[in-house]
């Protein structure tokens, strides 16, 4: 994560300043997801302007930026959640493992199983804790029997650091848990379908600091097993959990690079202003 050349950073600054976005390396290894020249329109309004970012397995990628800058919109392009909004239109190339996810032959249901998502507000199903986790494996046929399903539920909850807290009350309703536990339940639910990428849309914005710390710890633990992309308002959080940071402003990608560089030595004026709290 620290081996990125200064040339890369330079390049990113130049490219976004010119608006002609160029691919930005995600670091070591082949990228898990690539995005090239992505534009998103809500009707007439352009929400994302020519963004290109790569995401890989080793790093947690954080999207930061002021409200309405398009970071959540961009995140929702990565698992085609924008499809549910009729007026949204996405152009450009987004690939997962080299496959174009907007290609007609791509099955969006399978894509969303491979690219899991955790939302801003914890949204467990109003079912038991067990059924919350087991729902994904059930609909995708990932478990061949009760034992295997039990095993998936247990390992998912363990990975999400929730197992010890809920193992004696798996049949209780998921909505009866506290906010932080609910959010970890949602992460466990995403993990249960064995995704390749996990998208997190401000996962801690509805949580208190202690619950937030637990989620951040969890993100550290599952890094490397899944490619993680996190959108956050909280710059300290981005600095704590991520290895790559992308700064969005008014629908454009201003800067993308190694997190420590972005926070200590940003190339762009706007990035510096934002992280020092001058606006946003």
Report the interface residues with another protein, using CB under 8 A: 79, 81, 84, 86, 109-114, 116-119, 121, 123-127, 135-136, 139-140, 186, 189-190, 192-193
Distance CA 234, CA 231 (A): 9
**Minimum distance between the CB of residue 127 and another protein, rounded to whole angstroms?**
7
**Nearer CB in complex with another protein: 189/270:** 189
Backbone angles phi, psi at 262, to 5 degrees: -60, -40
Distance CA 71, CA 188 (A): 24
Q: Which two tokens stand for residue 161?
A: 């650091």
**Nearer CB in complex with another protein: 9/187:** 187
> CA torsion, points 197, 16, 245, 201, in degrees to nearest 10?
-50
**Minimum distance between the CB of residue 73 and another protein, rounded to whole angstroms?**
14
**Nearer CB in complex with another protein: 171/276:** 171
Strands 33-42 and 88-96: antiparallel
**Nearer CB in complex with another protein: 60/115:** 115
Distance CA 57, CA 21 (A): 22
Q: Taking Cα atoms as reference points, which of 138, 180, 144, 135 lies closest to residue 162?
A: 180
State the DSSP H helix or E strand holding residue 138, giving kind and residue range, or none if neither. helix 129-140
**Minimum distance between the CB of residue 225 and another protein, rounded to whole angstroms?**
17
**Minimum distance between the CB of residue 138 and another protein, rounded to whole angstroms?**
9
**Nearer CB in complex with another protein: 81/211:** 81
**Minimum distance between the CB of residue 276 and another protein, rounded to whole angstroms?**
34
**Minimum distance between the CB of residue 260 and another protein, rounded to whole angstroms?**
31
**Nearer CB in complex with another protein: 129/239:** 129
The beta-strand segments (E) located in the chain are 33-42, 45-55, 60-64, 88-96, 99-100, 115-118, 197-201, 227-231, 244-249, 252-258
> Is 147 exposed, middle or buried, given 0-12, 13-18 or 19+ CB atoms closer than 10 A?
exposed
**Minimum distance between the CB of residue 42 and another protein, rounded to whole angstroms?**
15
> CA torsion, points 98, 103, 107, 112, in degrees to nearest 10?
60
């Amino acid at each position: 994560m620290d081996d990125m050349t200064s040339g890369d950073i330079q390049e990113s600054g130049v490219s976004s300043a010119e608006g002609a976005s160029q691919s930005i390396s995600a670091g070591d290894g082949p990228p898990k997801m690539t995005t090239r020249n992505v534009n998103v329109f809500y009707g007439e309004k352009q929400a994302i302007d020519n963004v290109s970012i790569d995401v890989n397995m080793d790093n947690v990628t954080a999207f930061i930026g002021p409200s309405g800058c398009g970071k959540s919109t961009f995140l929702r392009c990565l698992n085609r959640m924008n499809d549910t909004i009729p007026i949204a239109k996405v152009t450009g190339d987004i690939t997962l493992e080299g496959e174009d996810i907007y290609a007609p032959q791509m099955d969006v249901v399978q894509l969303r199983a491979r690219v899991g998502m955790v939302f801003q507000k914890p949204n467990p199903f109003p079912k038991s804790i067990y059924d919350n986790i087991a729902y994904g494996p059930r609909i995708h046929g990932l478990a061949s029997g009760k034992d295997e399903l039990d095993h998936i539920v247990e390992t998912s909850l363990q990975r999400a650091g929730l197992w010890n807290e809920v193992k004696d009350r798996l049949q209780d309703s998921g909505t009866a848990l506290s906010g932080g536990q609910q959010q970890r339940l949602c992460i466990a639910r995403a993990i249960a379908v064995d995704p390749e990428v996990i998208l997190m849309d401000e996962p801690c914005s509805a949580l208190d600091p202690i619950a937030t710390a637990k989620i951040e710890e969890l993100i550290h633990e599952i890094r490397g097993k899944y490619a993680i992309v996190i959108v956050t308002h909280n710059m300290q959080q981005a600095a704590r959990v991520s290895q790559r940071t992308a700064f969005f402003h008014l629908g454009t990608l201003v800067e993308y690079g190694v997190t420590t560089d972005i926070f200590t030595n940003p190339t762009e004026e706007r990035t510096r202003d934002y992280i020092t709290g001058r606006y946003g």
